[in-house]
Chains A and B, each alone.
Chain A
């Protein structure tokens, strides 16, 4: 069984799936209003921005990541604390980043691992209307699906696989 990356952080009897590149790609494809939440670990920042651009997914920059994105010439759609965006996502009446309705998929990339675990827990318990994917380094059992625990090289391959999967019709 895949354990949480921070190995004591076992939430309970119901654990999310260990994703594959294909399963992540297919969940993103199926989503009508996904949102990408990009945090302070910065490991997969470029990949995330690329994904957002190609798939036209709105980006929320947490912590002070907006500054770094802007240095790269990318303006995030919203700047919110990790807890602020989680709070908005859990309200069914929120209209979403683009005002088109509450999101149906939240993809977390690089939010500080243990804080992300908490935010995913909130969504798991209090936002049944939303699916979650974690592509932050290390397995997150509170996400509906998340990366397995991978070496850096394998993680890059995994993420490249997601992009490939999305490119397939």
Chain B
């Protein structure tokens, strides 16, 4: 019998046989790159201790948005006043369960994207297509290394990682079934787990995209892309892609180029597909974030609308029909009861669409590319001269029908003053309607409430036409991962605090007061020499703003991951690279082993990397899993006020909490500080979020100089918005040398007042129980 072991076979150079699997020598080298850490491919229980420690310092805070549960036929169950559901669940566990469900949905959306794009790319390029992130990235795939414990070399290698992703997702989701988990803490632990899996799926998706579509490999000087309604050349046929999955837009750009049509067709995008498309071709235009979706569709500018997946309005078939633009669906995620014509002759499909078929489903991107292009070319002349928005006189006439019932205001998520705008428009003053353009997210809830069926979105857009169509902005194309060379430069100053932090503006566009606030947050921190990174709708929202000197943020600030940079990392899936950058600081600067070593890395990030996420318009379940996963890695996240509707935050209670850490150097339990104070925090206003962002970048590892810089930013911002020194300043001053020099006098006076006493800075702050105690 052959025993386990390795065998070198005569005459077969470089081949070694491991029983069960044939392994090349190259692969063997690979296996030796780092000793395997304690938790490769962790299951739900593997990192539970870490979660429980996080949840001790940052206990879940629940704000139920619904008092009931209706998930099974025992229900509806009323969970108020200590009542339990028929299955025994209480209100806290039910909230945590709903959070877990949301995180599973978010993870499934990213994993679906990853599965989808990987399989398509394997079809295009083959399983052996290499993953090469260029000469400046040696630590590629930091999340995969840390969680899974492998280094993917080819597209085929990523498949195995997705098998693990899919398996973990099944386990996490299964525990939300009636009669499974009953503890809110363990529901949270599962939410943290599946959301880490979400981060992993995103890394797989984006690495596959970078390798397969040849997207920028961390280029700080990625191209400046024309941005906004005004950027679109309306004399040409216009194709608009909406969603997240770029295979179809990439295939369409290739098709257009192959036929020499590049200067004859406009390719545009909304939401993350726009960012992805601009990563592929700098001539693609970006219309804007999700909040622009319905506005743009209503404008009727598009000759063909193409949908792929995630965050797409579910009524776009109806909306597209109103403008006469055919709708082409391209994935199994969105089918809208339209015929699947993937196997029909493409010329016939084009003819059908020109003859009035409202839409089709084509699941092969290469075929879809042909249909999309040919239809756009032929559709354009048919749609020329059509008017899709009412004239201003018509807007006034429509406003005259308004009965001032005010239900529009009450339906609006932001309670915008639609009724008052209508009253003004009746008098021919369109200022009220046009003022709504910026804070409105074109969700349409007002319209569907209006008994008079007024086309409120179209009326707003028409009234704001000069703002909407007149402006062209620029956005730097999504650059992808942070380079190892950049990490080498900023690693030390970030950990010591001399670069005061990384501010990551991420997530959707459910903003409380319009896109401009994200841009203002970015500007505030870029000016203060933080590293500002952005992804997804927030990266797009930031583009819709001009600084005082008339430049856009992307024109004014460099795209390098360095102090004072404003860096568009890419789409939602590129969020993985932000976490990846934090992991790479641990790997490159602190030389920590990554392989299967999640806890040590997350502990390092939580205590030493001053990063803070701001998901100002977080709306989707994907944003829930992105944020929760980011938290598991030790990075705090601030969400906008709508984020309070996620039902759960992770909030410390500094008046009642003990801030105990371990000092790894001595193995002792030491007095810590609330740094960071919260892990998931919904802020009410932008100003509150700005002040808190500066505070949440403080870390126990800051040296005196770094702490001074951080405190001077925090105190300065606090003064600017609140009018005094921060009332918790003493908690963050360890020694006199921590006090910002320019504020020394007043800070010392304040410290005396509150009876502050100096304390020791912690040598090696950690939340992991030292080994001898385990």
Contact = CB atoms under 8 A, between A and B. Distances in A.
Interface string A99-113: 000000000000111
Contacts of A88: 653, 655-656
A64 interface: yes
A47 interface: no
Interface in A35-89: 39-40, 62-64, 66-67, 70-71, 78-79, 81-84, 86-88
A8 B641 CA distance: 17
Given A64-B721, A91-B656, A125 B64 contact: yes
Interface of A: 5-9, 11-14, 39-40, 62-64, 66-67, 70-71, 78-79, 81-84, 86-88, 91, 93-94, 111-115, 118-119, 121-122, 124-126, 128, 138, 149
B687 A112 contact: no
B78 A67 contact: no
Contact of B653 (A13, A14, A87): A87
A150 to B, nearest CB: 11
12 contacts: A5-B410, A6-B410, A6-B413, A7-B407, A13-B68, A83-B651, A87-B651, A94-B656, A112-B684, A114-B644, A122-B62, A125-B91
Interface string B666-687: 0000000000000001111101
Contacts of B63: 86, 118-119, 121-122
A93 B655 CA distance: 11
A114 B641 contact: yes
Given A13-B78, A62-B684, A67-B723, A94 B644 contact: no
Interface of B: 61-68, 78, 80-81, 91-92, 407, 410-411, 413, 415, 449, 512, 641-642, 644-645, 647, 649, 651, 653, 655-656, 681-685, 687-688, 691-692, 720-724, 727
Nearest to B652: A87
Nearest to B647: A118
A94 B654 CA distance: 11
Nearest to A111: B684
Contact of A12 (B68, B647, B681, B688): B68
A126 B62 contact: yes
Given A81-B681, A83-B682, A115 B644 contact: yes
B685 A79 contact: no
Closest 7 pairs (CB-CB, A-B): A12-B67, A64-B687, A70-B723, A118-B63, A63-B684, A118-B644, A63-B685
A120 to B, nearest CB: 9
Nearest to A122: B63
A11 B722 CA distance: 34
Contacts of A87: 61, 651, 653
Contacts of A5: 410, 415
Contacts of B723: 66-67, 70-71
A115 B64 contact: no
B727 A40 contact: no
B85 to A, nearest CB: 13
B38 to A, nearest CB: 34
A63 B692 CA distance: 10
A41 B83 CA distance: 34
Contacts of A86: 61, 63
Contacts of A119: 63, 644
Nearest to A91: B656
Contacts of A113: 415
Contact of B683 (A81, A118, A126): A81
A11 B644 contact: no
A151 to B, nearest CB: 9
Contact of B67 (A14, A112, A138): A14
A114 B642 contact: yes
A84 B651 contact: yes
A114 B413 contact: yes
Contact of B62 (A14, A94, A125): A125
Contacts of A12: 66-68, 78, 80
Given A14-B78, A79-B722, A88-B655, A115 B411 contact: no
Contacts of B64: 11, 121-122, 125
Given A63-B685, A66-B722, A81-B692, A13 B67 contact: yes
Contact of B682 (A79, A115, A138): A115
Contacts of B78: 12-14
B61 A122 contact: yes
A64 B682 contact: no
B61 A39 contact: no
